[in-house]
Amino acid sequence: MRQLDINGIKAAVKDSLAQLGTNIDPKVEQAILQAQKEETTELARDILTTLLDNYYIGRRDCLPICQDTGTAVFMVELGEDICFQDGSLTDALQEAVREVWQEQYYRNSILRDPLFDRTNTKDNTPAIIHTELVKGDKLTIKIALKGGGAENMSALKMLKPSDGKQGIREFVLETIIKAGGNPCPPVIVGIGVGGNFETCAILAKKALFREFGSPHPATEWAELEAELLQAINETGVGPQGLGGRTTALSVQIETAPCHLASLPVAVNLNCHAHRHCKISF
């Protein structure tokens, strides 16, 4: 068994969380810069220029790039041959969030109960943690700060198998058009196809954790990603929903086997503040 020090893991997670809040993914920034050059309306160009200025100020002054510093979401791949010294991984992740939100003065956005006790926990916990056991002695922790506006505009639909590719396309475009400016476009679109009701939604979330702009390894799915990106940008929703040719920066699909009677599809949107990273041990 490989032993890992929980304190070292917590320190690395804290550092990553602090960096995520104030720094945009360089690939996202480059994509917005390119989109700004290609936009055909002055308003769309001005919006994208403002986003770029915002990223620069956040990086320069160590300020959050969005006032919604989000829900902390962790995707953990835990090797079966690992054991932890001096504590629990779950506790360490929650403590890291609690401490960073207090030390960085990030906005606390988590409520105790969704309906009957909507009081703030005042430390942005509990974070959301998905853990997958894998072979070996490696630990990978993927982290996202997920804003509420984009998350609210996500959707899931249990299509019929006969709906096929066209059904997926129509549902994705319907979701984007209905969302309009609410998810703060330009967005990154995570799509989950297959599995069942709950795994489909997690697949869509996992798609957002994939390296920005990286195509699906299977040619057919990569082609569908490209087709959907083009179709989404032809809707004219545009930056912040005010019109233009840049509604989405990337479409990323994850898939899983499914029941012969099913074709579940989930769409999980992320705003332009695409705050994701991965750390390995």
Q: How far apart are the C-alpha atoms of 237 and 183, rounded to whole Å?
A: 11
**pLDDT for the residue 33:** 97
Q: How far apart are the C-alpha atoms of 186 and 269, rounded to whole Å?
A: 10
**pLDDT for the residue 255:** 98
Which domains does the chain carry?
A: 2-20+65-146 (3.30.360), 148-274 (no CATH)
Helix (H) / strand (E) element for 211: namely none
Beta bridge partners of 270: 188
Q: Which residues of the chain have pLDDT under 50?
A: none
**pLDDT for the residue 50:** 98
pLDDT digits (tens, 9 = 90+) for 70-127: 999 999 999 999 999 989 999 999 999 999 999 999 999 999 999 999 999 999 999 9
Please, what is the average pLDDT of the chain? 97
Q: How far apart are the C-alpha atoms of 94 and 96, rounded to whole Å?
A: 5
Q: How far apart are the C-alpha atoms of 196 and 254, rounded to whole Å?
A: 13
